[in-house]
Amino acid sequence: MIKIGKELRINVFVVLLLIISSAGFYIQGGIVFNWMFVTIISCFVFSVIQTLSLRNRIAVSCTLDKAYYSVGDCGEIDTTVINRSFLPATMVNIENPQFRLHDAKYKSNTLSLTSRKKLVVKDKLTFNSRGNFNFGNSLIKYSDVFFIFSVKKVLKQECIVKVYPTVYDLSFMWDGRQSTGNASTETLMLNNTAAMNDLRKYCIGDSLKRVHWKMSAKHGELYVWNYESESNLKFNVLFNMNSSGYSAYNYNHHEEVMVDFCASLVKGFLDNSTKGQVFINNKNDFHIQINSDKDFKSLINYFTANKSAGQKDFSDFLEKNAFSFMGSQIICIVTYKLNIEFIDKIKKLDKQYKLIIFYYEGSVLQQELSLKMQCQWVDIQEFLDAKQSNRKA
C-alpha cells in the first residue's frame, strides 16, 4: 500500500497493473490489452466512487450500561456502526483502543454493511484498571470492494467512563470474629483502638459493628462497646505510590491491589467512627483529612485520577511527615515492598507510636525483624487470601 495523505492508501499492485495496461493499450493495442485496460480502469473508477461515497458516511458510537464501575466489574458495551452511504461498505474494521487497555486478548470487529445499514456489536469487558477512560474514540479502517483503496482514520467522540478502586468490606478487622493469615484481628487490635468506657447490653438501633462477639457468646446475649461520644483517636495512613517499588511482572495488577486495600482500610476506619488523615507518597505528595464520607469520596477521586508515579524514596517521605501525626495515634503504613532503608526509618516511629505495617513483598525481611520491633506486620497477600477463604467458608 502507498500512503496518500493522512488517511488514504492505494494498492501498489493495482497501480502497476493500471500503468502496464495503459501502456499496452496506447502502444500496442489488441484485444488482450484493450480488455485488460477497460477492466482495470472500470474497477478503479468504481473504487474511487465507492471510497468517496463512504467518506464521512460511516458513523461509530459507543454506549455502556453504566457511567461508572469499580475495578473488577464487568460492563456491557454496545458499539453502533452506521453506513449512511448509498453504496455498501464491504469491509469495515472497528477497533476501540480503550478495550485493549483492559483486555490483552481483545480483537477488533470486522463488519460488512449494506447501504443505509446499522449494526450493533455487543461486547463484555472486565475493567482491570482504574481511571477515567474515553470509549468514544474509535479507529476505523475500510476498503472498497476491489481492495484498491483503503482508509484509516480516528473517529473522535466522548463516552467518558469512570472506573473507581474496589472498596471491599474490612469490618471483620474491627469486630474480632475472624482470623486472617499471619495476623488475626485480635492481634491487629483495631477494635481496641477507640476510646471506650465499658461494655453494655445491646439496645435496638445499635450498630452490629460495635458488638463484642466473644463477650456476647460467653453471656448468651449481645453486648456492645460503650463508645465515648467524642474520641481523641485519630488514624494516620501513609501510602506508598512510588512506581519503582512495584515488580515489573504484573505491575498493573499489584498496583490496583494496593490502592484497593488502602481505600478499603480508610473506609473501615471511617465506618467505625474514627477520623484521621491520609498521606500519599506520589509524584506530587498528597495529604487529605478524612472526617466524612465526602472526604472519602475525594480520596477515591484522587486514586481514580492518579496512578503510582512517585519517585521520592518512601523512607524519606515517612521522615518528612512524622511530625504531622495527630491525636491518639494509630499509624498504618501501606507499602508494596519492604527494604532495609524503609525499616531503618520506622525504627524511631516504632518507639513512639503503635504501628501496623501492611506490605505485599518482603516476608523474609519481616520475619527477621518481627522479634526486634514492637510494630505489627501484615502480609496483604496472605491477609486477602485468608479473607477470601473465610468468605467461602
pLDDT tens digits, residue range 168-180? 888 777 654 444 4
Question: What's the full length of the chain, in residues?
Answer: 393
pLDDT at position 194 = 43
The secondary structure element, H or E, covering residue 150 is: strand 149-155
**Which residues belong to CATH 3.40.50.410 in the chain?**
172-193+231-392
Backbone angles phi, psi at 374, to 5 degrees: -85, -20
Helix (H, G, I), strand (E, B) or coil at 298: helix
pLDDT at position 6 = 79
pLDDT at position 177 = 42
Pairing of strands 355-361, 376-379: parallel
The most confident of the ranges 151-165, 235-249, 348-362 is 151-165
pLDDT in tens, 5-26: 778 888 888 888 878 878 877 7
Q: Which residue has the higher pLDDT, 117 or 385?
A: 117
Average pLDDT of every residue of the chain = 80
**Which residues belong to CATH 2.60.40.10 in the chain?**
58-164
pLDDT at position 206 = 75
Q: What percent of the chain has pLDDT over 90?
A: 18
Question: Grid coordinates in use for 212?
Answer: 463484642
Whether 250 shows a pLDDT value over 80: the answer reads: no
- For domain 172-193+231-392, the CATH architecture is 3-Layer(aba) Sandwich (3.40)
**Number of separate helices (H) and strands (E) present in the chain:** 12, 20
pTM of the model: 0.75
pLDDT at position 186 = 41
Measured distance CA(22)–CA(33) in Å, rounded: 8
CA dihedral 361, 235, 278, 127 (to 10 degrees): 60
What CATH topology corresponds to 58-164? Immunoglobulin-like (2.60.40)
